[in-house]
Homo-oligomer: A and B are copies of this chain.
Amino acid sequence: MTKLPEPDLSKAKEISRHYDFVRKQTITLCEPLQPEDYVVQPTGDVSPPKWHLGHTTWFFENFVLAKELPDYELFDERLNWFFNSYYESQGPRILRTSRGNMTRPSLDIVLAYRKHVDTEMKRLFAHHDGLLPRALGDLITLGLHHEQQHQELLLTDIKYILGTNPLHPALVESADILADKVAMPVVKQGWLAIPEGLYEIGYQGNDFCWDNELSVHKHYLEAFEIGDRLVTNGEYLRFMEDDGYARFELWQMEGIEWARGLDVKAPLYWYENDGQWQYYTLNGMRPIDLDVPVTHISWYEADAYARWADARLPTEQEWEIACRQNAREISKSKGWVENTRYHPQVKDVDQDHQFLGHAWEWTNSAYLPYPRYPRPEGALGEYNGKFMINQMVLRGGSCATPESHIRLTYRNFFQTDKRWQFTGIRLAR
């Protein structure tokens, strides 16, 4: 995968190049799959890869082409039923949990659907050549960021599909799942000190961002310290060996009931064989890398680990300010999906703090609206605004996140029991 040039949103040509890049990337990610892998939904959170291919395409057909391209004809009206995700305003849809039962439309049809929509989008761009209206350009850009979100879900869903199969097949086979030039063993975690202050929170630029990052507002922070790297597998293993999963005083009540009910005793994808821990990676099974950031843990586990370590999780505002003050490394991260390792990386010798591109870091902030957050009207108002309860914010972007998709102010969010994303831990105190 090559690096994406910064799009110039004012010009159709730039957006069109961005469109080609993102749409092609989705296909590239799926290339190693076998046809059967596209179909299943082994748990409610996971969607079949075929569904992601169709849904991201439906977004452009339904919100862009059907409204903006004269004489556009739907590829097949019946596909709305399949590929609408949760847009109440866009009509009925199959139950989310039935996605994995849908063998038809087959992959061939879905790929033809993508091709049809891409061709028509070209016609749309041609129609507006050089003069794409601002609102339309913004809508297409939104669709591309939406597709990039689904690229990350594609990878994590594929990881779940292959990683819970007893054969544990690899998606890719990289010689170098871990990059060079790292400090091994990683040095003891240090602390970055952030002074007290009345800070500004929220997105301040002119490029794309989600509605939930808007409304720049002041937020008072007491002085605090935050870890200069992520918690590693090795550190997490010590928590496990110290009976961390059984000691109720470390947990939230809801958390320990979750762990007991599901008999959780290790991160997702960890398997013990003859006393040795291995984990499934998209490169297949391998021994736990002690110096790699721990991932695939729930908020409950992150919270309990932090308490065990005599620390706590940072709030999302603390994270944002700490990251902003250490922004140097944003450009030099070794993580991101672009390196095609699909695995978090060991901390770099020249002081990368792992803020971006390794793991989504659980914070101790609930996902709630910023002051003055305006829930957008219409279908796109359903995008972020209707999920603002009983979820926690994650920050940072992971090894499965497209680099061009992430920002320091990006607010990701999941329920506290979710583990199939590349979720990790940074301590604060």
Chain A residues proximal to chain B, CB less than 8 Å: 34-42, 50, 78, 81-82, 86, 88-89, 94, 98, 100-108, 161-162, 164-167, 169, 198, 217-220, 222, 248-249, 251-255, 299-300, 303, 307, 312, 364-366, 368-369, 371-372, 375, 377, 381-382, 386-390, 392, 416
Q: How far is the CB of A273 from chain B (nearest CB, A)?
A: 15
The residues of B that contact A198 with a CB separation of less than 8 Å are: 198, 220
A81 to chain B, nearest CB (A): 5
Complex CA–CA separation, A161 to B98 (angstroms): 11
Inter-chain contact A167/B78, CB cutoff 8 Å: yes
Q: Is the CB of A254 within 8 A of B390?
A: yes
Which residues from B are CB-within-8-Å of A389?
252, 254-255, 299-300, 303, 392, 416
Contacts of A162 in B (CB 8 A): 103-104
A107 partner residues in chain B, CB cutoff 8 A: 35-36
Which residues does chain B contribute within 8 Å of A255, judged by CB atoms?
389
- Asked if residues A38 and B36 are in contact (CB atoms below 8 Å), the reply is yes
Q: Which residue of B lies closest to A224 (CB)?
A: B371
Q: Which residues of B contact A41 (CB under 8 A)?
A: 101
Tell me the bound Cα distance from A36 to B166 in angstroms.
20
Q: Nearest chain B CB to A199's CB is how many angstroms away?
A: 9
- In the complex, what's the smallest C-beta–C-beta distance from A100 to chain B, in angstroms? 6
Which one, B36, B88, B102, B390, contacts A35 given CB within 8 A? B36
A167 surroundings in chain B (CB, below 8 A): 78, 104-105
CA gap between A35 and B38 in the complex, in Å? 10
If A254-B389, A368-B364, A381-B249 touch, whether A36 touches B106 (CB-CB below 8 Å) is yes
